[in-house]
């Protein structure tokens, strides 16, 4: 039985990372194909207007809570308010503001119902360790030219016995060539860095054509590993402010980052109208 919390009809896995790691190992032992998604606020908002993307999230084997906004929203929706009428509206607004204020000061408060934030940028290392332990091969797809190669070199340097059996920086228009390369590599795990939602679409449409058992979209993670982009300081990651760091570094992300306040307002409206 999966431990999941439904956030606007999108199931989010609530277990800690060690449980997720055990699940990944079981996926490698089985014969089925598994798509893993790293869900943040942008995923939730986009899924409300794109039926295909929503279908992907509904059918994925794991939906990891990548963004702190997802944890915040789940915590607030899980809040029980027994009042009705105007009193309820006032209480909901007060709690909503308090919950927002608490984000950077008491991040551990939001570890329920989702127990842990699991970012794709961190989980790629866990998957790589699993692959090395189980003698499974990995294929890296996407990223700017040479980035996947540099990522493969760093992963294999830092993780003994890891075998990255193939890389390809091609875009989705080269799908046939990519499928052939993946299958020749005999990889069991596929990591795709096309960015959301392209990587999720590509995996959903093509995983069954490959020999891989597991595929995960990793966004800009190759850039972080290769060193072409820097992640936020640890304290910002832990206090739910990583989005702010990325926005400062990349102001063009402003449209994407609007998904965070969008989700917060959506949660507020939902809670006010909740029966």
Write out pLDDT tens, residues 219-230: 999 999 999 999
pTM: 0.94
Write out pLDDT tens, residues 86-127: 999 999 999 999 999 999 999 999 999 999 999 999 999 999
Roughly how many angstroms between the first and final C-alpha of the chain, as a whole number?
A: 27
80: buried, middle or exposed (CB in 10 Å: 19+, 13-18, 0-12)? exposed
Residue 1: pLDDT over 60: no
Write out pLDDT tens, residues 197-219: 999 999 999 999 999 999 999 99
Q: How far apart are CA 149 and CA 71, in angstroms?
A: 34
Domains, the chain, in order of start with CATH, read 4-66+117-226 (3.40.50.2300), 69-116+254-273 (no CATH)
Residue 12, strand partner residues: 5
């Amino acid at each position: 039985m999966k431990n999941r919390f439904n956030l606007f009809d999108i199931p989010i896995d609530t277990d800690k990372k060690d449980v997720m790691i055990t699940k990944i190992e079981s996926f490698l032992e089985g014969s089925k194909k598994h798509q893993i998604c790293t869900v943040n606020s942008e995923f939730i908002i986009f899924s409300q207007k794109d039926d295909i993307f929503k279908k992907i999230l509904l059918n994925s084997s794991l939906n990891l809570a990548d963004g702190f906004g997802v944890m915040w929203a789940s915590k607030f929706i899980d809040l029980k308010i027994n009042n009705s009428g105007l009193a309820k509206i006032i209480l909901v607004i007060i709690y909503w503001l308090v919950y927002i204020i608490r984000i950077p000061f008491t991040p551990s408060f939001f570890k329920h119902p989702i127990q842990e934030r699991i970012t794709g940028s961190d989980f790629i290392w866990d998957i790589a360790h699993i692959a090395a332990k189980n003698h499974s091969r990995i294929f890296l797809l996407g990223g700017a030219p040479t980035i996947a190669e540099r990522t493969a070199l760093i992963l294999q340097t830092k993780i003994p016995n890891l075998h990255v059996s193939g890389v390809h920086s091609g875009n989705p228009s080269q799908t046939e060539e990519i499928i052939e390369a993946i299958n020749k590599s005999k990889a069991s795990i596929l990591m795709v860095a096309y960015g959301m939602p392209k990587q999720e679409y590509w995996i959903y449409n093509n995983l069954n054509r490959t020999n891989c058992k597991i595929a995960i979209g990793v966004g800009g993670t190759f850039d972080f590993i290769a060193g072409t982009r820097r992640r936020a300081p640890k304290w910002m990651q832990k206090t739910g402010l990583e989005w702010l760091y990325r926005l400062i570094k990349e102001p063009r992300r402003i449209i994407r980052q609007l998904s965070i306040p969008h989700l917060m307002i959506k949660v507020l409206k939902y809670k006010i109208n909740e029966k």
